[in-house]
Amino acid sequence: MRVVGRGVRGRGRTRAGDAFRQGVWSTHRRRSGTGALVSRGPETGRRRSSVIAGVGASVPSAMLTNNDLATWLETDDQWIRSRTGVVERRISAPERATSDLAVEAGAQALESAGTADVDVVVLATTTPDRPCPATAPEVAAALGLGTVPAFDLAAVCSGFLYALSVAAGYIESGRAHTVLVIAADTFSTILDRDDRATMSVFGDGAGAVLLRAGFSNEPGAVGHVDLGSDGSLRDLITVPAGGSRQRGLGVAAAEDDMYFRMEGRTVFMHAVERMTSSAQSVLARGGLTVADIDRFVGHQANIRILRAVALQLGLDVDRVVVNLDQVGNTAAASIPLALRDGHARGEIRAGERVLLSAFGGGATWGSTILIWPELPPQQGEAAVTKSDRGDSNGI
Amino acid sequence: MAFDIRTRVVEVLVDDFGVPRDEISFTAPYDQLSFDSLMLLELALILKAESGVALSEKEIGDAATLDGFVDVFLQRSAA
């Protein structure tokens, strides 16, 4: 079944890049002064802001295809593709932990930025190496960042946007000059291998951005991050056991409760509603409309959620960046991983206005808008190359 | 109303979801139709984008058939 352009074609929107070529973004494309990584001095009319200085990502080398899953699950490639959009995902080897992916993504972001000057490390993850201690200090140490503050942040699939907001707060308040934001998850460690609904969707991965102090009107500046949560939805996306609510100490948890569970249909409706309203909120706050958006990088939950959000926003589907077909839903990592892949493939170009939006367990959600900065070409291979995917974004 | 809901339901199911036209029944229970679990939700979201009429997941499920779906949609649009 081909599902191109459902319901949102032909609305007369300009294609990505038209506005750019017409000079709308000219103020955003201007290189910042000498090109120095960090601008510390005040400039009239410009607000201190966090600015993306580098981006990185990492996925395991081992691939798990839909056909692989069909060897033990009652499913097939077409069933999974049509319901999720996922074709294959990457799975970590047993000896590899979330921190290994996080270190690789963080190192790539530092290389992209051309600096190892980091004041704070924030790691968004739902699958830390162990319940205690946090994984971020180990990641910071492995990156050679010394004794900088480093902590984990848990907001499930919205984790990157939550971490981005916290990091931006550090920078905007002047408490830090550079913050390394890493989002990494190894969901294969919490999935029930007999649960078709989750096994077919999730994969392992990590993404990272280095934020530096800069100004609100320069390329890479992170705009207001809209965040929200609704704890009444806590059971929609959950691992019931292992925390203080359902201890394992002295009483063995039911095996089923140790796995990740998700109520897909209900999550679908909430995700579409919250991602849409949050995106509309940051658009309104910025005095923008959806026609001003060149690229939409949504949480790569499921192609049908991305398609539905695009429909609700009135966004052309050819502006939606998609890499979930090749990496699946990588939880917190999905947005920075998609940013990095989109950048590596040339789908996200300097000067383009990019809308980010996510929904995750909690429930949590968030959105922000930024102008993509000029970054060096990625040194490493993109998780997904253009030639792997053809020209379609799968929508 | 100018928005013909029954015609539009068939169009979306056939054109967007690839459901064979002769397999669409407005009276058969959902589970006898070749729909996957998200299709009716997506149908409702498409109709919402076009008409402004929003149906909840519960309303969609409780409707049980496409006839019921249309009835709820018409009730909501008249409210």
Annotation marks residue A299 as catalytic: yes
Interface probe for A, chosen from B34, B35, B38 (most Cβ of A below 10 Å), is: B38
pLDDT confidence of residue A373: 95
Q: What is the average per-residue pLDDT within A232-253?
A: 86
* Averaged pLDDT for residues A235-264: 86
A82 interfaces chain B, CB cutoff of 8 Å: yes
Say which of B16, B37, B45 has its CB closest to residue A272. Answer: B45
On whether any CB of chain A is under 8 Å from the CB of B39, the answer is no
By Cβ distance, the residue of A6, A268, A314 closest to B16 is: A6
Residue A64 CB: number of other CB atoms within 10 A? 17
Minimum-distance CB partner of B57 among A265, A307, A308: A265
pLDDT at residue A342 in the model: 95
Calpha distance A280→A303 (Å, rounded): 20
- Which residues of chain A make contact with B47, given a CB cutoff of 8 A? none
* Cβ contact A265–B38 (<8 Å): yes
* Average pLDDT score over residue span A305-318: 94
CA distance A312 to chain B (A): 6
- Is A177 a known active-site residue? no
Compare all CA atoms of chain B with the CA of A266 and give the residue at the minimum distance: B57
Of A300, A319, A229, the C-alpha closest to A19 is A319
What are the start-end ranges of the H helices in B35-65? Answer: 39-51, 57-63
d(CA A383, CA B8): 40
Residue A315 touches chain B, beta carbons under 8 Å: no
Q: Which range is least confidently modeled, A100-114, A132-146, B23-37?
A: B23-37
B13 by Cβ neighbours in 10 Å (0-12 / 13-18 / 19+) ranks as buried
pLDDT at A392: 53
User: CB of A83 within 8 Å of any CB in chain B?
Assistant: yes
B41: contact with A, CB 8 A cutoff: yes
The reported pLDDT for the residue numbered A46 is 79
Relative orientation angle of helices A264-285 and A303-313, to the nearest 10 degrees: 40
> Which residue in the list A28, A329, A343, A393 is annotated as catalytic?
A329
Q: Do A3 and B45 touch (CB under 8 A)?
A: no
Mean pLDDT of all residues in A257-275: 94
Q: ipTM value of the model?
A: 0.84
pLDDT of residue A26: 28
Among A372, A341, A225, B18, which residue's Cα sits nearest to residue B10?
A: B18
Q: Average of pLDDT values for B2-12?
A: 87
Q: Which of A157, A177, A302, A393 is catalytic?
A: A157
Active site residue A132: no
Which residue would you say has higher pLDDT here, A161 or A6? A161
What was the pLDDT predicted at A383?
A: 54
User: Over the stretch B37-56, which tens digit does the pLDDT of each residue have?
Assistant: 789 999 999 999 889 999 99
Match 């550079």 to its residue by tokens.
A178
Mark yes or no for CB contact A314/B49 under 8 Å: yes
Residue in chain B lying closest to A312 (CA): B49
Phi-psi region of B55 (alpha: psi -120 to 50; beta: other; left: phi over 0): beta
User: Taking 80 as the threshold, does the pLDDT of residue A297 lie above it?
Assistant: yes
Q: Is the pLDDT of residue B65 over 70?
A: yes
Whether the CB of A61 is below 8 Å from some CB of chain B: the reply is no
In terms of Cβ atoms closer than 10 Å to its own Cβ (0-12, 13-18, 19+), residue A93 is exposed
Which tokens belong to A89? 């995902």
pTM of the model: 0.86
Query: Quick one: DSSP state of residue B12?
Result: I
pLDDT tens, residue by residue, A323-349: 999 999 999 999 999 999 999 999 999
Structure tokens at B70: 């249309």
Say yes or no to pLDDT of A64 above 90: yes
B57 touching A, CB under 8 A? yes
Instruction: Tell me: pLDDT of A380 over 70.
Output: no
User: How much of chain B, in percent, has pLDDT values that exceed 70?
Assistant: 97
Check if B18 contacts A (Cβ < 8 Å).
yes
Residue that wins the pLDDT comparison between B32 and A226 = A226
Average pLDDT over residues A27-56: 59
User: What's chain A's average pLDDT?
Assistant: 86
Tokens 């492995």 -> residue:
A142
- Point out the least confidently predicted range of A301-315, A361-375, B18-32: B18-32
C-alpha–C-alpha distance, residues A140 and A123, integer Å: 10
pLDDT exceeds 50 at position A75: yes
| Percent of residues, chain A, with pLDDT higher than 70 | 84
Q: What is the pLDDT of residues A82-94, one digit of tens each?
A: 889 999 999 999 9
pLDDT at A395: 57
CATH T-level fold of B5-78: 1.10.1200
